[in-house]
Structure 1
């Protein structure tokens, strides 16, 4: 899978830009602030409907514009000429729109699955050093790339969670028949949250089980270290550091029942605090190096190696599913020492398409010196050496 053409209108800093892309390695170089990351961010948005840089869509629209257009043509494989035209219209203050092969889609998330990417960026350090929400987003985004329908399940879970939490807040401190009636309503929300939460947990655990060996192997290949990198899962219904392979065997039905029972056990505490204390929104991915947790104990270099291993593990899972994802490396090599640069380059050099941004061309290992575009003054042009 690779992108053959990228077209932007009023996206970030670009009034308009057209870029013809090819399989293999493409490097975008230029000084900081010229718009290199904006290009690969647009590819990421086509694939995930999100950005690794911002949580909201508003910053993606060029200042003074009402909307931004991101359009990309995607080819299935080098030996498969079939192509898809993906388009997203990002609107200021109203719903976004999407189309596939110029046919309007009912909702933007129906575009998910048409393009798959794995993105490496400086923000990846938060996967190791950051909050549980960073790791939950990482695994949930990968789950959605594997099974696009999970975007709808996650949206439904978030909606039920909000409504249930509002009810818990309203019950806090109340007594009498009204409170009893509201608690009966809470039973209904418990069932919904348990059912949706079980699907979220089951797909997370399955994906983690599928990638755990790949992450360990990738870490060993990248890091000049003897420590083993391991993944486990922390959950209010399973325990603090559960083996993901064993937990993946439980399945949605068992997870649903455990969630329902645990909600019953924590109901008094939830009402007192006015917050939902049970469910995948409270869970965490536990990363360990040898006998110690990576967070708080890993060195800067070890943390970077673990973050890279997580991304390489993601690529391995998608490839095992029969998909060759586009690899995006956004200003990553400037963050790495020479050993890690070379080892990462060796791991990804054979990917079907690799898009790299770098302020300094010399930061990119020789093994990845493919076609090069110069990004400067709002323009994207092929380097004269490649023209």
Structure 2
């Protein structure tokens, strides 16, 4: 899979840009605040229908304008798509594929698969469980779009149940409503749990091998999915049964606290390096290598599921890696389209054997200066 071209109008600091990309390596060089990350954001938007930097769509509209447009031509195995997204300040987002407007934004998933790696991804290890949940939620949604539907449904029911719990502290007559919410939560939540468990299992296997290769066998990466609902994930009926039992058992405590204690909204991923908690005991270099291994494992998983490579977006990360890790990463570029940003004139000699296109970015203007 690859992005053939991108068109941007009033997107961030790009007023009007037509950009043709190489099928393999594309390197964008420029100083900070010139628009490099904005370009990657526009491509990610065509994949996920949202930004990887903000939850507010209107932030992507040029500050002096009321609307913006992003278009991308995408090709791959049995894929020929023209994805268009229009954002307006006071109107819903509009998404089209091959000129046909989507009724639901989730229908965009799978049209363009991407993996993005940026310095902020260290938060997967450094920050709390919500960051790790968001990480796996984004990736599962690409390979299984119905997952996003189940997750959104679960979160909606959870919100309603929590509101009811708060009211029941004053009036406990709504027990029958709690029973209804419990059944709905169990159905959608159990699907979320089993999809997360299977994804993390695959991610753990692939990232463990990659991490061994990157560290020359000196370090062992271990990922483990953790939920407070169950400890085994081989039977969805078993998950539903245990989930319901725990919700019913904790009802009085939930009413007292006004919130739901049990469920996938409390899930986490344990990340260990050489059997030690990476958040507490790993160096920043070790953490970066672990996240890199996880990101490259995502590439493998998407390739396996979709029978085509995703597009790899690297936002100013090469300069943060040592020579050996750069060498390993660059080796993967042979198989997939990669779009790289850098503030430095990186050692282009490392890319000599690769098909590539090099661009310079300055204040939203993009020029190709070498091949």
TM-score (norm. length: structure 2): 0.95
Cα separation, 2, equivalents of 1:91 and 1:149: 27
Match in the other structure for 1:210 = 202
Q: Secondary structure at the match of 1:19?
A: strand
Question: Unpaired segments of 5 or more residues in structure 2?
Answer: none
Cα separation, 2, equivalents of 1:92 and 1:260: 42
Does 2:313 correspond to 1:309?
no
Which aligned pairs between 1:1-387 and structure 2 lie closer than 5 A?
1-77=1-77, 82-172=79-169, 174=170, 178-180=171-173, 182-223=174-215, 226-239=218-231, 247-250=232-235, 252-321=236-305, 322-346=307-331, 348-362=332-346, 366-367=350-351, 370-383=356-369, 385-386=370-371
Q: Secondary structure at the match of 1:350?
A: helix
TM-score (norm. length: structure 1): 0.91
Residue 363 to residue 287, structure 1, CA distance change in 2 (3 Å): farther
- Which string of whole-angstrom CA distances, capped at 9 and with x for unpartnered residues, describes residues 179-199 of structure 1? 22x121011001111111111
- Displacement of 1:338 in angstroms is 2.4
- Displacement of 1:363 in angstroms is 5.5
Residue 212 to residue 66, structure 1, CA distance change in 2 (3 Å): same
Q: Secondary structure at the match of 2:329?
A: helix
Residue 255 to residue 93, structure 1, CA distance change in 2 (3 Å): farther
**Residue pair 2:76, 2:308 contacting (<8 A) in 1 also:** no
Residue 365 to residue 268, structure 1, CA distance change in 2 (3 Å): farther
- Which string of whole-angstrom CA distances, capped at 9 and with x for unpartnered residues, describes residues 313-365 of structure 1? 1111111111310011011112222232222222x222320000011121567
- The runs of at least 4 aligned residues of structure 1 exceeding 6 Å deviation read none
**Residue pair 1:26, 1:370 contacting (<8 A) in 2 also:** yes
Q: Secondary structure at the match of 2:280?
A: coil
Residue 188 to residue 75, structure 1, CA distance change in 2 (3 Å): same
Q: Secondary structure at the match of 1:357?
A: strand
**Residue pair 1:88, 1:108 contacting (<8 A) in 2 also:** no
Cα separation, 1, equivalents of 2:178 and 2:197: 27
Q: Secondary structure at the match of 1:18?
A: strand
Aligned residues: 368
Cα separation, 1, equivalents of 2:368 and 2:286: 36
Cα separation, 2, equivalents of 1:292 and 1:377: 44
- Displacement of 1:141 in angstroms is 0.9
Residue 212 to residue 253, structure 1, CA distance change in 2 (3 Å): same
**Residue pair 1:236, 1:278 contacting (<8 A) in 2 also:** yes
- Displacement of 1:369 in angstroms is 7.5
- Displacement of 1:227 in angstroms is 2.5
Q: Secondary structure at the match of 1:227?
A: coil
- Displacement of 1:223 in angstroms is 2.9
**Residue pair 1:153, 1:196 contacting (<8 A) in 2 also:** yes
Question: Unpaired segments of 5 or more residues in structure 1?
Answer: 240-246
- Out of 37-46 and 218-227, give the one that drifted further: 218-227
Q: Secondary structure at the match of 1:295?
A: helix
**Residue pair 2:230, 2:243 contacting (<8 A) in 1 also:** no
Cα separation, 2, equivalents of 1:60 and 1:224: 41
